[in-house]
């Protein structure tokens, strides 16, 4: 089919879904589900976003643009502070297309990063004012209430872009599961600068020095973690990857800023387990292998 006829097929999809965090403790309800299958051919202009900052664990946005064919299957499950997405995307760029077909995915974590602060080095000469950076715990009381000015050391982003040349194919498959339950910032009303946050100990966590790991969890606490299995491929084109993630609990840090050109295939798994769920807080039995809570 010549390109002039393909131009008659124009598909534009824009879908946003988010769930607000209800005040009721987790009881297996408040479930949002969406399953979809797309078989597209023509000019594809696709923009789709799921999640809401700090209400669903992560925010995930997918975009596609270009002339070609796209087959996409996605299953989404969402509840307060939790999001699960299993999706597969396979495409090819028309051989006579005027440009590449480009797919991009950006995942923004709600989980807070490691924090840093600046302090004045008093060992320096009085004539010189020298400031040095120091790591400070993200959940320290003085950081939460603003007594110490701190900043995030990472952006908490996982992103990829695949641009496939005319006459070639590409794939992006990802299965992610993330949770970010309430904690000390919510207790004192500092989450996102809010002062009217409803705090429920049954679905929150807090520090307790008598515990082996120093953390106490309410029975409906859903956890703080981000897990993803990802496969990305293009037979010829460009792949860009950007990852900037850290954990204030393990002090682990992952940074990647790369660009590849040619035939590219990447398969990977990433697990960040900050805090496990409470004894009755394992969400969506069957989505995740359930072990005894720690």
**Chunked mean pLDDT (size 10), the chain, 294 residues:** 39 40 41 88 92 82 96 90 93 97 96 84 57 78 85 95 98 94 75 55 88 87 93 98 95 95 96 87 50 36
Q: What pLDDT is attached to residue 16?
A: 40
Cα–Cα dist 35/79, whole Å: 15
Q: Is 202 a domain residue? A: no
Cα–Cα dist 33/84, whole Å: 10
Cα–Cα dist 28/181, whole Å: 15
The burial class, CB within 10 Å (0-12 / 13-18 / 19+), for 218 is: buried
CA 171, distance to chain mean position in Å, is 20
Q: What pLDDT is attached to residue 146?
A: 82
Q: Of all helices (H) and strands (E), which one includes residue 141?
A: helix 141-144
CB 82 within 8 A of CB 283: yes
Q: Is 127 a domain residue? A: no
CA 274, distance to chain mean position in Å, is 14
How many separate domains does the chain show? 1
Q: What pLDDT is attached to residue 145?
A: 82
Neighbours of 227 (CB within 10 A): 16
Q: What is the pTM of this model?
A: 0.82
CB 277 within 8 A of CB 223: yes
Q: What pLDDT is attached to residue 264?
A: 97
Q: Is 17 a domain residue? A: yes
- Which residues, at least 6 apart from 144, have a Cβ–Cβ distance to it below 8 Å? 184, 185, 188, 190
Q: What pLDDT is attached to residue 282?
A: 65
Q: Is 233 a domain residue? A: yes
Q: Is 115 a domain residue? A: no
Q: What pLDDT is attached to residue 131?
A: 56
CA 87, distance to chain mean position in Å, is 14
- Which residues, at least 6 apart from 104, have a Cβ–Cβ distance to it below 8 Å? 62, 63, 64, 159, 160, 161, 162
CA atoms within 13 A on the CB side of 259: 3
Q: Is 288 a domain residue? A: no
110-121 CB burial, b ≥16 within 10 A, e <16: bbbbbbebeeee
CB 86 within 8 A of CB 75: yes
Domain that holds residue 260: 3-109+153-180+227-270
Q: What pLDDT is attached to residue 266?
A: 96
Q: Is 86 a domain residue? A: yes
Cα–Cα dist 49/55, whole Å: 14
Structure tokens at 119: 């302090």
Angle 55-59-63 (CA atoms, 0-180°, nearest 5)?
155
- Give me the residue label for tokens 């006829």: 5
Q: Is 251 a domain residue? A: yes
Q: What pLDDT is attached to residue 127?
A: 54
Question: Number of helices and strands (H, E) in the chain?
Answer: 3, 14
């Amino acid at each position: 089919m010549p390109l002039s006829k393909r131009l008659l097929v124009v598909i534009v999809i824009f879908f946003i879904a988010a769930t607000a965090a209800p005040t009721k403790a987790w009881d297996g309800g408040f479930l949002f589900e969406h399953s979809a299958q797309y078989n597209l051919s023509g000019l594809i202009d696709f923009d789709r976003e799921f999640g809401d900052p700090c209400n669903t664990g992560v925010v995930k946005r997918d975009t596609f643009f270009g002339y070609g064919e796209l087959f996409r299957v996605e299953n989404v499950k969402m509840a307060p502070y939790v999001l699960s997405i299993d999706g597969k995307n396979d495409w090819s760029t028309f051989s006579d297309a005027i440009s590449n077909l480009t797919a991009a995915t950006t995942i923004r974590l709600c989980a807070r990063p490691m924090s840093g602060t600046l302090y004045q080095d008093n060992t320096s000469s009085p004539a010189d004012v020298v400031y040095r950076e120091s790591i400070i715990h993200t959940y320290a009381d003085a950081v939460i209430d603003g007594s110490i000015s701190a900043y995030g050391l990472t952006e908490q982003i996982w992103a990829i872009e695949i641009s496939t040349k005319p006459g070639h194919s590409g794939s992006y498959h990802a299965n992610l599961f993330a949770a970010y339950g309430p904690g000390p910032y919510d207790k004192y009303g500092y989450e996102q600068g809010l002062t009217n946050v409803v705090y429920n100990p049954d679905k929150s966590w807090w520090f307790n020095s008598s515990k082996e790991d120093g953390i106490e969890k309410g029975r409906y606490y859903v956890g703080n973690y981000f897990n993803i299995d990802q496969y990305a491929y293009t037979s010829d084109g460009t792949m860009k990857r950007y990852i900037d993630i850290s954990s204030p609990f393990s002090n682990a840090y992952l940074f990647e800023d790369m660009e590849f050109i040619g035939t590219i295939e990447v398969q990977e798994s990433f697990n960040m387990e900050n805090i496990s769920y409470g004894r009755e807080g394992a969400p969506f039995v069957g989505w995740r292998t359930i072990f005894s809570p720690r």
